[in-house]
Structure 1
Amino acid sequence: MHATLRNAPHERFLRGLATSPKGTALRVGAEAVSYEELHELALRRAGALLASPTGPPRAVGVLAAKGIEAYAGILATLYTGAAVVPLHPDFPAVRTRRMLQASRVSVVLADDAGLSALAETELDLPVVAPGRTGGADSRFRMLPAEAGPALDAPRPARADDLAYVLFTSGSTGRPKGVPISHGSLDHYFRLMDGRYDFAPDDVFSQATEVNFDCAMFDLFCAWGAGAAVHAVPAQAYLDLPAFIAERKMTVWFSTPSAVALTRRRGGLRPDSMPTLRWSFFAGEALLCSDTDDWQAAAPGSAVENLYGPTELTITITGHRWSSELSPKQSVNGIVPIGTVHEGHDHLLLSEDGKASGKEGELCVTGPQMMAGYLNPADDAARFIDHSGRRWYRTGDRVRRLDNGELAYCGRLDAQVQVQGWRVELAEVDDAIRACDGVIDAATVTRPAGSGVELVVYYTGVPASPDVLARQLRQVLPSGLLPRQYHHLDAFPLNANRKVDRRKLAEQAAKG
C-alpha cells in the first residue's frame, strides 16, 4: 500500500471538487464547467484512454488548442495514472513527432487542430478525438470518446510516478524531455499552500499555453482551493484591465512580456486593475520598472517574481516586490529572484568549480529536482556531483544579497528566454544552417521591451528574410523565429579565432 499524495495534481482537483462541487472549475471563452462536470468528463475521457488497443497508457499526448477538452484531457490522463505530455498543435510536425516518440506516447487525445497536426507527423497512434467535426477519420486509428466505461474513480499516484513530461530546447536541435514526478509536485504544491491564501472565491488567469509548466501552477493552485480558472485569449490584451474587471479576476500569472504589452495598449493606468490581489511573473527577467508600473495599476495586489527552470518543478524561488526595498536590491534593474524553497539546498558555483559565497552559477538539489532527462545523454551537461550529492546546474549566474536572497545576473551559456520560451541559440543556428544556401549561422539577442528577440547573421548565398522564415517555420515554433536576418561574407573573429558573438550582438542592438 502507498500513502496518498495529498498534493499530487489530481488529488488537488478532488479537494476542489469536495469544496466547490457546483462552482466553476474552468472557463474558456463563454463556456464554463463546474467541478462536478469537469470531473465526470475527465472520468469518461479516462475510460476511453484506458480502452486503447495498445493497452493502458504510460504516457498520453494531449494535442489540442486551449479549450475545455485540452484541460479535461490533462485531468483525464492523470486520472488514468499515466503521464501527461501536453503538446501544441501549431508546432512544426518534425518537432511534434520527436516529442511524441521521445516520451513514448501510446495514445493521443486531440481536437480538430490537434488531428491536423498529428496527421503531419505521419505517426500511427490511436486517437481519442471528442466532438470530432471534420477531416478524414481514415487517417487515424480513432477511438470513440466513449470507447470504454467511465473510470469509477481516479487512480492513486505514487511519489515516483510521472505526472507530466515537458520539452525544453536542446542544443542539437532535439528537444530535451523533462519528466516531473508526482512526488516533486506534491512537495511544490504543499509549499504553495503554505505561502499563499488562495480561496474558493478566487479567479485565476491561465495565460500561458498548456505545454508551458507555469500552466500547472494556474490549474492546480486554483483547483486545490476550489477556485475558478479562466483561460486568457490573445484578444484580452487589447484591454487587459477590462478583461480582468469583467471576470472579477483576483490572481494573475504570466511572463513579464505581458507587462510591456499591457503598457503599449494603455492598460497600466493607476488603479486600472483593482480586483487583483496576487500577481505572479516568471519565465523571463522581470524589470523593476515594469513591476513598479504593474503595482501601481494593481495597488491591492501582492506582486511576486518567481524563478525556476522546468527541471526544478515550475518554480524554485520567489521574491515579493516592495516598491521601497526591491529596487535597492536589484542587479541591472532586474527584480531579485528571492530565496530557494524550503527543503532544498543550493550552492553558487564559481568558474573554477568551487563553491562561492557571493556569486556564481546557481545549483540546486532537493525534492523538486527531476531525476534526469528522458534521454540520459542530456544529463551530463546539467548535473554535477558535489560534496557527495547530485545537483542540477541552472546555467544562471546569481548573486547572494546581504539579506540572503538571490539576484539574477544573467545566463552563463547561450541559452536564453524569448517570450517565456527557453531556447538554445545553438538550436536556432542549427535550424538556419539547414536552410537552402546557408553555410554557417550565428544567432544573437538584442533587447526588446522587457525581454529579448533573436537576430541572425549567416554566411552563404544571400536570401530574402521571407524565404528563410518560411523554411524555419518547418522546424521552429513561431515564438522562436528570428526578427532579423543579416547576410555576411564572413563572421568577425575574436582573439581566440572564434566567432565574435559579442560584436554581432552589439551590431544587432544598433538596429
Structure 2
Amino acid sequence: MDHLVVSTARRHPEAVALETPGELPLTYRALVEEVERAARFVASAVGTVPARIGLVGAKCARTYVAYLAVLRLGATVVPISGAAPADRIRAIATAAGLSLVLTDRVGGAVAELTAAEDPTVLEVAALGGVDDLPSVDPVPTEPTAYILFTSGSTGRPKGVPVTHAAALAFVEHNIARYGTGPGDRMTQVFDLAFDVSVYDMFVAWGSGATLVAPGPMDLVHPARWVNELSITHWASVPSVVSAAVGLRELEPGCMPSLRLSLFLGEQLTLEQALAWQRATPHGRVENAYGPTELTVFVSAYRLDEDVESWPETSNRTVPIGRVYDHLDSVVVADGREADEGELCVRGPQRFAGYLDGRDDAGRFLAGADGRFTPVAGRSPSAQDWYRTGDLVRRGPDGVLVHLGRLDAQVKIRGYRVELAEIEGALRRHPAVTDAMVLAVPGRVGSLELVAFYLGEPTEARELRASLARRLPTYMVPTRFVHKGAFPLTGNGKVDRRRLPDS
C-alpha cells in the first residue's frame, strides 16, 4: 500500500499530501522523506523488525508517518485507538502477538504498558537528526496490510486481517469511481482504528489529493471547518449531520466548496441527506455501506440532485446501492436466495478469515444455484460467501436497502459494537449481578447505549468509570438504569423489547 504514496510523490512531488492541525503542511516529497527516516529510526531501534507493529496516536503528522513507515518496513500495521484504555490495548496486543507499539507520544494509557508481558513502546516523536542512520534493507512484505479489531460477542476483541491485495482492490476502484487528484482536499475524520480511515488516506494519497485532518472541535462545527480549509470531499458518519442541524449551523448553501459528501457507518436517513444536500449546492451526496471484513465498503448509492426523484423506502433511509461489479453478492433467507434477507459477499475485497480462527464459525456460507449452507469443519475458501449479518431488501432494479442487523451488533458513532461485550464488562463490577444493554435513538439522531442492571444500586459515574477502564469511550453507555428484575418472555428469556418500560 505504501507504494501508492511513493508513486504519487514521483508524479506530484510538490503537491500537498497532508495537513494536520497546528502543523506545517507536508508535500508528497516531504512525506516520503519523513516516512523513510521513520522507517530507519524504527529499524535501528529494534534490530529485527517484527511482522506486526501496533500504532497508537493522535491525528498528527508523526502518526501518519509512522503508519506508512510500518508498511515501508514490510510489516503489518495494527492501529489502536488513542482513546482506548490500557486493558484494551493489552488485549489487542495479546491477540495480535505484538511485541512493539509505536506512539506519537508516551502518555495516557500507553504509559501504563510497563508489565513484563506488555509490548515495547517506542516513541517516534523525535525523528530529527537521524539522517545518518543506515538505510532500511528490503524485507519480504507481509501479505496482510493491516489488522483492525472489532467488538466481539465473546467479550474479547476480534481481529480482522486485511491483505494488501484486498485493500488495493478497494482503493483503486474508488480512485477511479471518484476521480480524485491534485487540488482535491479530502477529510480524515475517522480514527485510524476505524476502517474508513483507509479510504481517507489511500484514496487521497494514491491520487495526489490532500488529506486534511480535523482539530478537536472541527466536527462540532463542520460548516466552519469546511469553509476555512476549502474542503472538497467529505466522509463521515451521518450523526454529524444531526448534530449540526441541532446547533442550527447547517444553513442552505453554507458549504459551497464541497463536491462530494460520503456517509457511512450508520443508516443515513432521507432527512439527514436532505439537510446536507441543501447545504452543499455544488456537491453530491452518497450513502456507502460495508463491513470491515469486506475492506471498508462494497456499495454506494448516489442521490440525484432532484429531490423529487429520491426513493421512498419503508424505513426512511437512503438505499445502500448495488454491490460493486468486481464483487459477487447474494441475499439469503433460510438457506435460499431471496429478495429480503442477509447480504452475503465474496470477491477480491473479502478477508480470508479472522485472526483467531474460532471467530470464523458461522460467518461464512458455501453454495451456489440458490442454495446455501454454513461452512463448518474447515477454513473458509475464496469461493465462500461472507455473511454480513445485515438484513437488506433488494428492489427490482437491484438496489439494496439496509433494514437493520440480524444479530445483537449495532453501530455507535460509526463503530460496530457487540452489546454482549459491554454487558460482560458491566457484570465484572462487584455490585452488578446481571446486565443488559440496549441501543436506543438519541437526541441528535444517532443511537445511544442504555445499560439496565441487577444487583446493588450504584452511582452511574462509578459504573461508567469501571467500564472506561475496559472499553473504548464509544462503548460506554450514556445511561444506567437499576432494575429489581428483568422482564421475561413466555419461554423464560429476557424480553429486551420490554426492558425500557418494565
Normalising by structure 1, what TM-score?
0.90
**Residue pairs, 1:18-417, within 5 angstroms:** 18-31=10-23, 32-53=25-46, 55-113=48-106, 116-120=109-113, 122=115, 123-131=117-125, 148-151=133-136, 161-322=143-304, 323-324=306-307, 327-350=310-333, 352-356=334-338, 358-387=339-368, 389-417=383-411
Secondary structure of the residue that 1:335 maps to in structure 2?
A: coil
Task: Identify which range, 385-394 or 415-424, moves more after superposition.
Answer: 385-394
* Counterpart code for 2:3: E
* Counterpart code for 1:93: A
Q: Output the CA distance in 2 between the equivalents of 1:401 and 1:113.
A: 52
Q: Output the CA distance in 2 between the equivalents of 1:115 and 1:458.
A: 30
Task: Identify which range, 391-400 or 262-271, moves more after superposition.
Answer: 262-271
Question: How many angstroms does 1:165 deviate by?
Answer: 0.5
Question: How many angstroms does 1:162 deviate by?
Answer: 0.6
Asked whether the 8 Å contact 1:130–1:145 carries over to 2, the reply is: no
* Counterpart code for 1:300: H
Secondary structure of the residue that 1:262 maps to in structure 2?
A: helix
* Counterpart code for 1:343: H
Question: How many angstroms does 1:246 deviate by?
Answer: 1.5
Question: How many angstroms does 1:114 deviate by?
Answer: 5.4
* Counterpart code for 2:348: P
Report the equivalent of 2:4. Answer: 12
Of all paired residues, the percent bearing the same amino acid is 38
RMSD, aligned α-carbons? 2.1
Secondary structure of the residue that 1:172 maps to in structure 2?
A: coil
Report the equivalent of 1:466. Answer: 461
* Counterpart code for 2:36: L
- Please list the CA deviations of residues 256-276 of structure 1 after superposition, one character each: whole Å capped at 9, or x if unmatched: 111112212322101100000
Secondary structure of the residue that 1:171 maps to in structure 2?
A: coil
* Counterpart code for 1:282: L
Given the alignment, which residue of 421, 424, 430 partners 1:430? 424
Q: How many residues are treated as equivalent by the alignment?
A: 484
Q: Output the CA distance in 2 between the equivalents of 1:503 and 1:376.
A: 36
Q: Output the CA distance in 2 between the equivalents of 1:259 and 1:326.
A: 22
**Runs of 5+ in structure 2 lacking a partner?**
373-382
- Please list the CA deviations of residues 413-468 of structure 1 after superposition, one character each: whole Å capped at 9, or x if unmatched: 10000111111011111011111211111111111133211111111111111111
1:478 and 2:478 equivalent? no
Question: How many angstroms does 1:278 deviate by?
Answer: 0.8
Asked whether the 8 Å contact 1:176–1:375 carries over to 2, the reply is: yes
Q: Output the CA distance in 2 between the equivalents of 1:190 and 1:201.
A: 19
Q: Output the CA distance in 1 between the equivalents of 2:281 and 2:159.
A: 40
Asked whether the 8 Å contact 2:236–2:262 carries over to 1, the reply is: yes
CA gap of 1:479–1:397, structure 2 versus 1, over 3 A, is same
Q: Output the CA distance in 2 between the equivalents of 1:148 and 1:458.
A: 57
Q: Output the CA distance in 1 between the equivalents of 2:122 and 2:132.
A: 9
Q: Output the CA distance in 1 between the equivalents of 2:235 and 2:210.
A: 14
1:498 and 2:481 equivalent? no
CA gap of 1:177–1:27, structure 2 versus 1, over 3 A, is same
Q: Output the CA distance in 2 between the equivalents of 1:268 and 1:398.
A: 31
CA gap of 1:226–1:54, structure 2 versus 1, over 3 A, is same
Q: Output the CA distance in 2 between the equivalents of 1:365 and 1:71.
A: 31
Secondary structure of the residue that 2:240 maps to in structure 1?
A: helix
Secondary structure of the residue that 1:328 maps to in structure 2?
A: coil
Moved over 6 A (4+): 144-147
* Counterpart code for 1:76: A
**Runs of 5+ in structure 1 lacking a partner?**
1-8, 134-143
Task: Identify which range, 199-208 or 83-92, moves more after superposition.
Answer: 83-92
CA gap of 1:176–1:145, structure 2 versus 1, over 3 A, is farther
Question: How many angstroms does 1:194 deviate by?
Answer: 2.2
- Please list the CA deviations of residues 251-302 of structure 1 after superposition, one character each: whole Å capped at 9, or x if unmatched: 0111111111221232210110000001111111111100011000012111
Secondary structure of the residue that 1:225 maps to in structure 2?
A: coil
Q: Output the CA distance in 2 between the equivalents of 1:147 and 1:470.
A: 47
Secondary structure of the residue that 1:434 maps to in structure 2?
A: coil
Asked whether the 8 Å contact 2:180–2:204 carries over to 1, the reply is: yes
CA gap of 1:226–1:121, structure 2 versus 1, over 3 A, is same
